[in-house]
Structure 1
Amino acid sequence: MSAAMLHRRLTAGMAFAALLAYAAGAGWSLDVLVSALGLTVAMVRLPPASWGPSIERATRIVIVALCLWMLYVAFVVVGDFMPAVMAMLLVLLGGEALRPLDAKNDGRLYLLAFALMIAATAYYPGLAFAAAFVAFVVLATLAMMVGSLRRQAERFDAPGVRVPRRTLGGAAALSAVTLLVSVAFFVIFPRLPRQWNVQGRGGTGDVMAGFGDGVSLGEHGGRLTPNPEVAFRVEFPDGDPVYPEATYWRGRSFDRFDGVRWTRTRGLPGQIYGSGYARRWGGPVRRTRIFGGPAGADVLFGQHPIISVEPRSAIRVRQEPTGDVLYFGSDAPVYTVTSGRELPPERLLATSPQDDSPLVSAYLQLPRLAPAVRALADSLTRGESSRVGKVRVMEAYLRTFEYSLDLPETRRDATIEGFLFRRRAGHCEYFSSAMVVMLRSVGIPARNVTGFLGGEWNDFGDYLAVTGNDAHSWVEVWFPTLGWVPFDPTPPSREALVNMQTGTGWSWPARFWFDGLEHRWYKWVLDYNLEKQLEVFRGIGDLFSRNRSDASPWSRGDRSGAPRVPPLVALAVALLVLGAGVMWIRRGRSGPRSAETRSYLALRRAYERARLGGAAGPMDFAERLERERAPGAAPAMELVRLYVRARFGGEDIGPAGRARMDQVLREARAALRAARRRPRSNDGPPPAGNSPEPSTDNADELRRRRGQEPAGV
């Protein structure tokens, strides 16, 4: 492959890496696909040179159309004109990559690809961005090296020059060293606190199935499909809980039910929320750190009761009187939740007085129900005098039903009456809706709550991964002196079904490991700050401390008790492996020299002893000998040309060519020896700035000649 074609392919590959980084955050829109098609064609096979003018005209037409669109959006629609700018950049990139090989457009391709990589950082830079960035650095290094070689070859009229594989390997090793230096600078200098983000991962896209702005019971026929998509990740700064898989992550509450769908009413009267729970429930507080959230939802999650929420990314938080926590901003949500005691003591529930608050009317609303529903609620609570007793007996009754993901077969069965008296089976939304309806029918304020229950522990990242399969619905009951208290009527059989859905897929272990890797990427790269830097340095200090029995990373195992490899040790091993690879590449480059190389190096040493030629590339060295009128410049130029053809052009000059190189080497050496013996001409001084300093042999000859001349000359 010629240097020109290799250079174009490397440049197109570099641009394609930047395009992948951009598409990972912005998505595969039409302009991205068009640019990807152009770059793919440039890497596989360029179109004929005759197509160049047509491609350039088409690119200009599209650019003019995009400029008009941008002006229309900016001054008429008064919206965001950045999509038009990015489309223009993508079209330019694809068009430039398809230009003929003789086009001098490598500088434009470099700038467009670099601009696209900069634009990609404004979107969510996940693991796909990390892989694309590494590929971009490696390919950019190779492209610039080959591009420089290509320009030199064209300058000296050697268009068919080829690039050896060892040269490419050395350049790739150089790019690896560049990446390592970048990592070192990244660790040493932490990021400043992030206060803005153009695009974020949270709050965009479709709402995750199983959690949304409403609860509906009207669906019938079919079956709920599993959703293993990770909604958010949870860390426990105060220590891992004993059984995190049973933790409730509260999201949204609903107060109004029309018989099929639950909705929310604005402007509800004041309620107990926030720090009010800490005073009334007592007990220790709990902290959790949550990363991300389900796509399309502006809700923050936490263990009930949520006392406070501290944002750790560029979001703004608002807690409503209902206890729901919302956020604003386009950044991916990262926040720390402080929660109160998990449940109030049973004695406080038992001594709760009757309700006389304005919430009675707001949370006792009921649709038209069959009389059998009220009769069932009355029969269950007839023997209970306390509110908590009535709630517990209804909860226990519903737990005798069967949990099922099969939807009702008919619309008639997709109702509270059908669930209670005919099917006696359903998913969590039926259980919570039936319990709220029965509680309200006996005068107890209650509401439906949605969120997530549990998750799966990820040993690779030491966090709880909450997926779409963990979406859940339960009940909150109002106690005047305590506030809202959660109860769950869904039977325990749900847990086994959810675990089976989550872990049976053949790709789930790999996806789970990848999710742990992505979580670490977010924590230690995107969210790297002064706190993370101090933690890294403390880990280094613990690694080299004298007393490592308590502080050593080896003493910390995973939840199964197995020791865990410290990240610093893993990094050191990776650096050693990389260093061994670089040494292997250098060893391959420093292998036995060819006959052409030996002849060329012998020529360079001969002229270096005479202080002629200087340090330069092969052709620059030969041209400098000609400008300096050095002895043997003509045979030296012939030897250099043969060497360049064999070494860089990939041409086999054969035994005759190598014999000719030996012959001209002898001629150049003979010319140098003759110059040292020949007296200098006194016709005039040598040209200023071009003559080298006389060698030692020439200086001795000059002193000898001056001793033979008559005195006074």
Structure 2
Amino acid sequence: MQRYFQISCHGLIVSAFVALALTGRLDSPSILAVSIGLGLSTYRTLKGMPALLTARGAFLLCCAYITFFLLDSVVLSRSFIPATIHLVLFLELTKLFQEKTDKDYMYLIVLSFLQVLAAASLTIDMSFVATLFFFMVAFVSTLMSFDMCRSARKLATEAQHIALPLGGMSLWATIWIIFTGTFFFFIIPRVGTEYFSRAATTSLLLSGFTETVQLGEIGQVKLSSAVVMHARQMSGPPFGVLKWRGISLDTFDGHNWSKTDRRRAGVRPSPDHQSWLHPLGQSGDHVRYQILLEPLATTTLFGPHQVLAISGGVQGIEIDGDDSIYMRIQTLRRVQYEVLSEIPSRTRRLPVSSQEEQIPSKIAAKYLQVPSDLDPRIPQLAREITAKGASATEKASLVEGYLKRNYAYTLNLTWPPGPQPISTFLFKAKAGHCEYFASSMAILLRSAGIPTRLVNGFLMGEYNPVGGDYIIRESDAHSWIEVYVPGRGWIEFDPTPPDPNHRDLDLAGQISQYIDATELFWNSYILTYDSGSQLQLFRGAQDRVQSIQANVRQKSDQWVLLGQMMSDRFSERIRQLVESPRFWSVLEALVIAGLVYKHWKSLRIKFQIWRLRHGRGPVSEDVVEQLFYRAARLAERRHKKRRPAETWREWIFRLPDLDRRSILKRALDVFEKSKYGRMPVSSAEFTLLEETIRELRTS
């Protein structure tokens, strides 16, 4: 058993080294030296020869190698990483030729596993699949035989008796592992843009940043403290940004904000690899931020308003008519990009002029919409607040100040929104979170004839002096509005008062800043750094996919045309059929036949009752049952209905009206005789049932 384990361990080491050597990243002298060492060790193991080195001799040899390691780092390899790889291979060979304990074997297994992981990150060749298969077989076999060898070391079991069944077990145990490894090799390294960012990450922000947002969704997002993005200022004046703008919405139905025009325009990158959204202006300060965006369940991109250009790792940038920016395709990995923004002047007051009163018709039609069932108290309140304002800017400032002074901020909404949440907030609750403040200000200003739009995004976040970046969390989600001022465009207003529950930075927060700075460095310079090398592998495949997409679009146009032709023909046939008199005759006949079929049983019983009244035919059980149930329904009009577990007799004797009880008892005797006694009912008894119904109607 010990011999089988040693051979299996050598197979494990050889397969791991071959996988690393086939990556092309290992120098030829190292490949030659390690190959000779592995071959010699394997030969000595097969022959059962003793170890060449003692544990002390191996220790002294490793100590002596430290001097060579320094020389290798400075002179031979001229790099720390190749010299470290040489050191690991030397330690592996030294362990192979020394007297080994169980701990030494575990070191060899771990070193082999790390070599395969390194090979998986360095190669895209098919040879890795073959070496991975042999490694997994040897890995499973080595672990199983190692455990068996330790637990049954005193048993005299020969290797040839255990080799075949244990090898077969190792082979079958490896099959499902190979499928997983093959999936990792073919899919993950080629879908992700970097090696360490291949794992899928759970998306954040499930609501609040789509083209339709229900009132209150941003408040739900704010309950979480998960990190959404990091932002680092690259240039521009410090503290020039107070918010990270996301999506803009223009239509409010009383409960939901939505976007009327959902058309987007693609933005092509310029030769300087920047996607310019707006021309570079001179009316404000320019700032540049580097943003690392976590995987989000939205295609919205965030940046300081107004974003002029975007560059970095974002593929396919789109913009809509409200200056909201999107990715064309949602991604499940981190996205790092840079934004160049123009921060407008914060001076809001302008001299009153006639130009400011002239609002373009397109702006008025889109941004003055209010709910059809708007509470009439809201326009009245808007007139009272803005009475002293002469311009749109002054009126907006008055509404902003009114909401900040007279309403409280809270995330704990203890009041029911009701059919009109804005009215409930303004006139009853007078406490809420940013969505209610922003929506209320937007509707108040629209009632006063001032165009507004709602914006969902994030506050500036927490500044981390250790990493020199802003940490933006889901709890920083925020809503505010933008007011249209003729001659100046859209100006930002935020009526939400400060959060009274803001916490100061404590010791735990300071420690978290160091942790976050480390994570930011790892994410920026390891996970999302230099993705072009991997994307280049798919250029050929991408061209083929684009060709297929073009063919699909061409075919789809043809299918649309064919569908239109078939629809026209079908419509013509329907028109001819409707105009035909025969169609209506057949339809009338079918309707009559359907009604007869649906009520066939009831019609048949009524016909039998008609015949019995004229002295024809026997009294059937269906007739008795129909008449008794009719009498019971008449009695139930003035008394409680029969309970499901109650018999007819129990229900009748529970009736408080003695006359009705006596009348129904006679009908019950006939009903039980027919239904349970299976006895024929006479014409006199039929007459009794009809008399019962007449008496119940008149009583």
Q: Which category of TM-score, normalised to the shorter sequence, fits these structures? A: 0.3 to 0.5
Q: Which has the larger radius of gyration?
A: 2
Greater RCO (Cα-Cα under 8 Å, separation 6 or more): 1
TM-score (norm 2): 0.48
